Amino acid sequence: MAKAIVIAVDGPGGAGKGELTRRLAARFGFALLDSGAIYRVLAYAVRKAGLALFDEDSVVQEALVVNMSFEPQDNGVHVLLNGEDVTAAIRTEEAGANASKVAALPAVRQALLQRQRDFRKEPGLVADGRDMGTVVFPDAQVKIFLDASAEVRAKRRELQLKAQGKVADYDLILQEIKERDERDRTRATAPLKAAADALILDSTALTIEEVEEKALAFIHEKLGTLELNG
């Protein structure tokens, strides 16, 4: 039997993957995997346990036992760690930077592979991350690499934080984005890069509606309209 459809959306932080994948999953009635949230929760759990983010053996142990769950609610997916709601706590800039540190450890990535693959089920999955199309689901039927300039991503993040009533310093955000990009793109295991068969979509000058339109055209080209209702 053919495997359930996977639409893999990879790219750097702030390119708009979260919004695009939420829209696609809702449109097609597919499950959604936010793989970045898995690395974020793991880093949070590691810190909470008083372990070092770079101690590969300890982080792997934590990755194998950590009890995380993702619960769709009206206002988005809630992330639970041992039953505690950590949705907001894992979204800080620091939590993102910590996630990228544990994500650079090869054995940690290996330990989290099956947990991510378990999200694949009928009728399909939209997977958001850095290595969805290259490592986790190399046989994904649709692969999209969503990019945007670091400056535009920093600006979007600044506006997002300000909309939440938080303090936001554009220059600092830009610097952090560049540091995280560098770590994600140059790591030895599963570096951030487009799969050979991915559609490369640059969202720098596009609205989310335009991004969605281009993604949909590509999805229909790959899958035809027969299998999808969207």
Q: Give the nearest residue (CB) to ligand C5P.
A: 36
Beta strands at 199-202 and 31-34: parallel, antiparallel or unpaired = unpaired
The single residue among 36, 140, 177, 219 that binds ligand C5P, judged by CB under 6 A, is 36
The single residue listed with the structure tokens 């649709």 is 142
Helix, strand, coil shares of the chain as percentages rounded to 5?
50, 15, 35
Least distance (Å) between residue 109 CB and ligand C5P: 7
Question: Structure tokens of 224?
Answer: 């035809």
Judged by CB under 6 A, the chain residues 5 through 34 that form the site for ligand C5P are 13
The single residue among 100, 154, 157, 198 that binds ligand C5P, judged by CB under 6 A, is 100
Total site size for ligand C5P, rule CB under 6 A? 14
Question: Structure tokens of 161?
Answer: 């934080």
* Long-range contact set of residues 99-102: C-beta below 8 Å, sequence gap at least 24: 99/36, 99/39, 99/40, 99/42, 99/43, 100/39, 100/180, 100/183, 100/184, 101/43, 101/53, 101/54, 101/183, 102/39, 102/42, 102/43, 102/46, 102/53, 102/59
> Which of 23, 180 has the CB closer to ligand C5P?
180
**Number of alpha carbons in the 13 Å side-chain half-sphere of residue 87:** 10
The single residue among 21, 35, 87, 134 that binds ligand C5P, judged by CB under 6 A, is 35
Give the residues across from 124 on adjacent strands. Answer: 5
In the DSSP assignment, the letter for residue 90 is: G
* 96 near ligand C5P, rule: CB under 6 A: yes
| Helical spans, DSSP H, in 29-169 | 35-48, 56-65, 93-102, 106-117, 150-163
Site string for ligand C5P, 101-120 (x = CB under 6 A): --x-----------------
Least distance (Å) between residue 144 CB and ligand C5P: 14
Give the residues across from 71 on adjacent strands. Answer: 78
Least distance (Å) between residue 131 CB and ligand C5P: 5
> Which of 88, 217 has the CB closer to ligand C5P?
88
Least distance (Å) between residue 224 CB and ligand C5P: 28
Least distance (Å) between residue 143 CB and ligand C5P: 13
Judged by CB under 6 A, the chain residues 171 through 210 that form the site for ligand C5P are 180, 184
The single residue among 45, 60, 105, 131 that binds ligand C5P, judged by CB under 6 A, is 131
Query: Interface residues with ligand C5P (CB under 6 A)?
Result: 13, 35-36, 39-40, 96, 99-100, 103, 129-131, 180, 184
